Amino acid sequence: MELTQLNIDGARSAVQERKTTAFALAESHYARIEKEDEQIGAFLTLCKERALEQADRIDRMAAEGKPLPPLGGVPVAIKDVMSTRGVRTTAGSKILGHYIPPYDCTAVARMEAAGAVLLGKTNCDEFAMGSSNENSAFRPVRNPRDLNRVPGGSSGGSAAAVAADMVVVALGSDTGGSIRQPASFCGVVGLMPTYGRVSRYGLIAFASSLDHIGPLTRTVKDAAIVLRTIAGRDPMDSTSADVLVPDYVAELEKPVRGLRLGVAKEYFGDGLDAEVRQAVESAIDKLRGLGCEIVPVSLPHTPYAIPTYYLIATAEASSNLARYDGVRYSYRAAGVKSLSEMYRRSRDEGFGAEVKRRIMLGTYALSAGYYDAYYLKAQKVRTLLTRDFEEAFQKVDAIVTPTSPTAAFRLGEKSNDPLAMYLADIYTVTADLAGIPGISIPCGETKEKLPIGLQILGTHFDEATILRVAHAYEQAG
């Protein structure tokens, strides 16, 4: 049995049936990290002690013949924007370079309560701001499929860790595409749940009305298992919704025949790479072959999504990141004489270029005289973008699109042009703005063997349908 090739059920049942141990699973994945990660850079911190303690707990359960919980013994990684008690949590930033949280993020706690073995914390763009992982204050992540390419961002470390078999599953966060786009670039599955489906408690805030936690996995079923584990109301997050969590795994097997899938021309316009278009169109044909009805829909405000997103996300970020003041838990510059000098120099030295750019844009958009023209305008367009989806979902059960206009680009290719980098999220940001769920699944490769992603979007709280479509596509081979 190849221990680093298992899915969740395979790993759990192997431990349950004593064919292996959670300890051996953890050790074999650590060995793989040791071997691969110097090149890839997916991990920022390993927490071996915590992992082996949990593995031991699971192994004792198995030895006593007790049924293991759904993720019993499964090696996982957590994006370094989620707080882990006693384990350094940096958000990819120098300003939190030495931060050790005193509590666990709810999603992390639920994963561990379900038996997951947390191997470490994954690299990401600083404060989840980026589409290539080049904005990490520590080191860029490289795409396991081609080390000269980016893994996508901002959950690039999580996507790369899963793609390179260093863990079975990872948690990421998605504010403008940060789970789905790296999943697409690395050839794995990435699910962004509905806003409010998964508690944000303990997630280091970037843009609070847009931040989502979700899984990156190698199979759709694994994504369903993880979502079932982390979803549901949490009193510690007042925006976490009190909505019934269905059994996503059971729902996977329902037939897709007769489902209506929308295709929006706005997602197939200029800027879409020809090979990506071809792969996505064949995927749509395959779904039609599975009995889905393909229905043209229109999402006319799509061209306004990126400017709307970059106003709202940066405005919220400028407010959220005000807390890094060098007083309570963040980096403090040395040799400062006054309080105001301490704030400024600590933030100047602690934040990277992209974070400062976004704080500046957001502060500008909220400043006196510009609030109506920028921030309020963007909030109104957000209503229009959401209405587009509401109207489309009157006619269809889900919408299929490319995840990203291109496959993985080269390191350095867009790093000097912020606007070009922002456009990498052109097909993903609208779902964040509207709060609807989306999944990216692999749908082929370019001639250069780079993975291509198919995105499936659903209505609010209907992750079950997009998982079902994704599963049917995946199983059809």
Residue numbers annotated as active site: 79, 154, 178
Interface with other proteins (CB under 8 A), residue from 100, 113, 147, 476: 100
Rounded to whole angstroms, the Cα distance separating 392 from 380 reads 19
Counting contacts by CB under 8 A, is residue 248 touching other proteins? no
Cβ 367 to other proteins shortest distance, Å: 6
Calculate ∠ Cα 156-351-159, nearest 5°: 5
Nearer to other proteins by C-beta: 277 or 377? Answer: 377
Stretch that binds other proteins, among 39-47, 217-225, 264-272, 321-329 (CB under 8 A): 321-329
Q: Is 298 in the site for other proteins (CB under 8 A)?
A: no
Cα separation, 477 vs 21, whole angstroms: 31
Q: In 3D, which of 170, 385, 358, 399 has the Cα closest to residue 264? A: 399
Reading the block at residue 275, the tokens are 């090979």
- Looking at 255, 269, 271, 303, which residue binds other proteins (CB under 8 A)? 303
Residues in 118-157 that interact with other proteins by CB under 8 A: none
Point out which span in 25-33, 97-105, 115-123, 177-185 binds other proteins (CB under 8 A).
97-105
Between 79 and 301, CB nearer to other proteins: 301
- 186/347 Cα distance (integer angstroms): 33
Contact status, residue 444 vs residue 473, Cβ threshold 8 Å: no
Contact pattern from residue 332 through residue 361 relative to other proteins, giving x for each residue in contact according to CB under 8 A and a dash for the rest: x---xxxxxxxxxx-xx--x-x--xx-xxx
Stretch that binds other proteins, among 8-16, 72-80, 100-108, 172-180 (CB under 8 A): 100-108
Segment interacting with other proteins (CB under 8 A) among 132-140, 275-283, 290-298, 415-423: 415-423
The residue among 34 and 348 lying less far from other proteins, judged by its C-beta, is 348
Per CB under 8 A, which of residues 421..450 are in contact with other proteins? 422, 434-435
* Cβ neighbours of residue 471 closer than 8 Å, sequence gap 6 or more: 220, 221, 224, 252, 253
d(CA 1, CA 95): 43
| Angstrom distance (rounded) from CA 417 to CA 456 | 29
Return the C-alpha torsion angle 60, 64, 65, 68, nearest 10.
-30
Quick one: 4 or 90, whose CB is closer to other proteins? 90
Of these, 9, 13, 28, 243, which contacts other proteins (CB under 8 A)? 243
DSSP string, 376-391: IHHHHHHHHHHHHHHH
94 binds other proteins (CB under 8 A): no
Name the residue nearer to other proteins (CB basis): 96 or 297.
96
Q: Is 473 among the residues that bind other proteins (CB under 8 A)?
A: no
Q: What gap in Å lies between CA 76 and CA 162, rounded to an integer?
A: 9
**Of residues 101-120, which lie at the interface with other proteins (CB under 8 A)?**
102-103
Instruction: Select from 13, 209, 298, 446 the one that contacts other proteins (CB under 8 A).
Output: 209
Please enumerate in sequence order all residues whose Cβ is within 8 A of that of 299, keeping only pairs 6 or more positions apart, or say none.
264, 266, 267, 385, 388, 389, 392, 399, 430
- Residue 259 CB, shortest distance to other proteins, in Å, is 21
CB of 112 to other proteins, least distance (A): 17
Spatial contact of 408 and 152, defined as CB atoms under 8 Å apart: yes
In terms of Cα–Cα distance, which of 194, 228, 251, 124 is closest to 439? 194
Interaction residues for other proteins, span 169-198 (CB under 8 A): 194-196
Interface stretch with other proteins, choices 72-80, 158-166, 380-388, 446-454 (CB under 8 A)? 380-388
Tell which positions 39-68 bind other proteins, by CB under 8 A.
none
When the beta carbons of 70 and 300 are compared against other proteins, the nearer one is 300
220-238 burial code (b ≥16 CB/10 A, e <16): bbbbbbbbbbbbbebeebe
- Give the nearest distance from C-beta 470 to other proteins in angstroms: 22
- Residues 451 to 470 in contact with other proteins, rule: CB under 8 A: 460-461
